[in-house]
Structure 1
Amino acid sequence: MCKSTMLMSTKANRYANQLLDARARAKLMPLLSAADALSPMDGYDIGKRILDASIGQGDTPVGRKVGFSNRTIWPKYGITETINAPIWAHVFDSTVRYAEDNRGIQSLEGALQPRIEPEVVFSLGRTPAPDADLEEIADCIEWMAHAFEIVVCPFPDWKFEVVDAIAAFGLHGTLIIGEPHMLSTTTRRNLASMLANASVSLSCCTEDSVTLCGAGFGSDVLDSPVHALWHLHQVLNAQSQFTPLQAGEIITTGTWTDAYPVQAGQTWVTAFSGIALPGLTVSFV
């Protein structure tokens, strides 16, 4: 493996351990990119060390998250260069939970600078062929659900380069999944356009007020969340150090709005238009 394109093993391990330690202790840390000239592939090299360490500590990867698939938020992130492409990371049995009746309570203990993102999750019923096209990847989806991803950031003030975001667990904190909806063959065939034409609203409720914080469209997510899934499939085909998408995985495809800071005492609520997906209600403690 070429040293110029991938980190030396000892350096990648050191960065991985720093990120794992920051998460375990809920402590902010300096940017990796401030200390080293790092490429996005270096970020995935660090992510692979984190994956191996997490499995060694008893975590089981159960799927992936796609980040920065919403083009409308790209200009808001990045320091020397704005984010201009999606990223991905693993999600684990320890970071995924299901909200009974589309309602949940979530502790923010240990979450670094948590923010909330409304997303659509897919579960794969079949393993996609390596050369699967958009229709074929959609046909592999068994069910979909609405979810909140609680994203976290170990870098001060949510300022980072893309390599930092990739390495830092893809900024993944917790995935809270609502009621799964099994998909018919007809729905799968039309799913990309159905989701592209749908919209979601995101509101924050406190004892005193209800505030509409954001709204977004499925078309903002790489034209459709199904496109985001297909993009991930193609990226993984080129990253031989990682396992390709497999049957049984859950994939959260990226936020429909910007990510909004959350704190204990708030309840966040979503509502969809244009598609028969129920909203979610999650209270933070």
Structure 2
Amino acid sequence: MSSIHASIAAALDEAARKAVAVSQFSSAGTPFSIEDAYRIQAMSIERRCQRGERRIGIKLGFTSRAKMVQMGVDSLIWGWLTNTMVEEDGGSVRLEKYIHPRAEPEICFLTKRDIDRPLTLLEVADHIEAVAPAIEIIDSRYEAFKFTLEDVVADNCSSAGVVVGPWSGKLDALANLGVVLRTDGRVVQTGSTAAILGHPLRSLVQASRVLAAAGTVLPAGSLIMAGAATAAETMAHGNHVSATVGELGAASFHVV
């Protein structure tokens, strides 16, 4: 089975590298478990690292209770961020790098200590250096942006790009900040940071648990994308996309 996993990892890696979609693997007669999916994800990321990319953090998915129920899971999912995924705040994002990208408003944490064990809610703040408004660019490598739970985990949870706004030390003001996603100045999504497991810091508790279960240590200086506060919006050529998160400020980019 490992050879099958390796071939799926290679196909997903090539799809991301060349910005060309692949068919769903599970529905194509190659079913695999969620544990297998994380193995495939690891193989795919390792291929990137062999080309010179570096892991710089993680992204979290299904941090909405409603999404967990919809997908029939009881915990969030996660994928890796690498240095080549970082796009400049206020800069230009090339549409040709992606297949069918969508933008999600989020908040991003910067760690100041290794996360090497399951943490409590009282402990997580001591492991965080700063927080920032952010936008995640998600881009499923599957045709029509359709996939099973196992498919999306194998595909690094659709993570493709990240734009991080100004850093702040305001960790005590995250409970219920208004989140607004705009395209070309028009409001397209609104929400609250409370949609992220009731409080964004809870996503870090969950992150510490899944990392520990995977036997993975997240080093100090890493990014953690806490999960979407609203639904995602499709990106198109010429768009100006911005996400404002309460008093934390905004992150933005132009699509070229």
Q: 1:72 deviation in Å?
A: 4.3
Q: Distance in 2 between matches of 1:63 and 1:69?
A: 17
Q: Distance in 2 between matches of 1:29 and 1:84?
A: 28
- For the pair 1:94 / 2:84, whether they are aligned, the reply is yes
Q: 1:202 deviation in Å?
A: 1.0
Which of residues 202, 220, 225 in structure 1 aligns to 2:200? 225
What is the match of residue 132 of structure 1? Answer: 119
Q: Return 84-93 or 251-260, whichever deviates more.
A: 84-93
Q: After TM superposition, list the pairs within 5 Å mapping 1:1-285 onto structure 2.
A: 8-34=1-27, 35-73=29-67, 85-99=75-89, 103-128=90-115, 130-181=117-168, 183=169, 187-188=170-171, 191=172, 194-205=173-184, 210-240=185-215, 243-273=216-246, 276-285=247-256
Q: 1:84 deviation in Å?
A: 6.0
For 2:248, what is the secondary structure of its paired residue? Answer: coil
Regions of 4+ moved over 3 Å:
71-76, 81-85
Q: 1:124 deviation in Å?
A: 0.6
Measured on the aligned residues, the alpha-carbon RMSD in Å equals 1.8
For 2:26, what is the secondary structure of its paired residue? Answer: coil
Q: Which has the larger radius of gyration?
A: 1
Distance 1:201 1:235, change over 3 A: same
Q: 1:132 deviation in Å?
A: 2.4
Q: Distance in 2 between matches of 1:40 and 1:169?
A: 12
Amino acid at match of 2:77: I
Q: Distance in 2 between matches of 1:106 and 1:120?
A: 19
Q: Distance in 2 between matches of 1:52 and 1:271?
A: 34
In structure 1, the gaps of 5 or more residues are: 1-7
Provide TM-score, normalisation by structure 1: 0.84
Q: 1:198 deviation in Å?
A: 1.0
Amino acid at match of 1:248: G
Distance 1:82 1:260, change over 3 A: farther
8 Å contact from structure 2 (residues 112, 127) kept in 1: yes
Deviations along 1:50-72, one digit per CA (max 9) or x if unpaired, are 12211111111011111221234
Provide TM-score, normalisation by structure 2: 0.93
Percentage identity across aligned positions? 27
Amino acid at match of 2:111: L
**How many residues are matched?**
255
What is the match of residue 3 of structure 1? Answer: none
8 Å contact from structure 1 (residues 73, 258) kept in 2: no
8 Å contact from structure 1 (residues 27, 154) kept in 2: yes
8 Å contact from structure 1 (residues 128, 136) kept in 2: no
Deviations along 1:133-179, one digit per CA (max 9) or x if unpaired, are 11211111001111111100121222111111111121011111111
